[in-house]
Amino acid sequence: MKKTLISFAVVVLVAVGIYYAVRVDESQTVTEGLATFSSSEFGFEFDYPSGPEGYVLEERIPADVSDYLRTFILFRTEDKENIDAGNIPEGGEGPAVIAISVFKNSKNQQALNWAEENQQYSNINLVMGSTTETVVGGANAILYIADGLYASNNIVVAHGENVYVFNGQYMNTDSDLYRDFAPIVESVRFIPQLGQQ
């Protein structure tokens, strides 16, 4: 009986060790009001303000959409606390957020082509004005403003095997969400993706 328990304990410890050795390398580091999110699974990292005056990051896994991999949502800390406390008016909309969605670029498209073909995710069909070329983390991208429930700054980047859609919603141009969007996007760094050289 004692040998069986010891054998079981060893198997559990080995299994836990293997899990931590092969698990997805996704982490958040917080240093004095600035947090860094990093994911080798999706090949990118970025910095964002944290703490009471900053943001809380929440991850959403889409259901049954093959090329839609993940969304990372930055809620203002105050807004997230209100959501958690149930302080959203019944029938009311959620707060404006900054969202980063990651998609598999299965057709190896450029950013503009991908955005036009995937309007349900890019909101390019709601564009106000025109698109502009830009660079994010050394990769070519497009930038545009879209209308909707909230106005939003949108950046679509095709890099490696993925497309990254950055969506910064705001009520007005005096909001923290509007001011913080550009520095967050400017902090994006593309890193080696898990399983790639």
Whether 3 shows a pLDDT value over 90: the answer reads no
pLDDT category at 197 given cuts 50, 70, 90 is low
Measured distance CA(183)–CA(170) in Å, rounded? 15
Q: Tell me, rounded to whole angstroms, the distance of Cα 129 from its chain centroid.
A: 25
Contact criterion met (CB below 8 Å) for 127 and 146: yes
Whether 182 shows a pLDDT value over 70: the answer reads yes
Percent of the chain with pLDDT over 90: 71
Measured distance CA(75)–CA(140) in Å, rounded? 27
pLDDT tens, 104-159? 999 999 999 999 999 999 999 999 999 999 999 999 999 999 998 899 999 999 99
Q: What is the DSSP letter of 168?
A: E
pLDDT tens, 117-131? 999 999 999 999 999
Measured distance CA(91)–CA(41) in Å, rounded? 36
Higher pLDDT, 8 or 61: 61
Domains annotated on the chain, with CATH: 25-190 (3.40.1000.10)
pLDDT category at 66 given cuts 50, 70, 90 is confident
| Three-class secondary structure of residue 142 per DSSP | strand
Six-digit token string for 9 = 């304990």
Model confidence pTM above 0.75: yes
Contact criterion met (CB below 8 Å) for 168 and 95: no
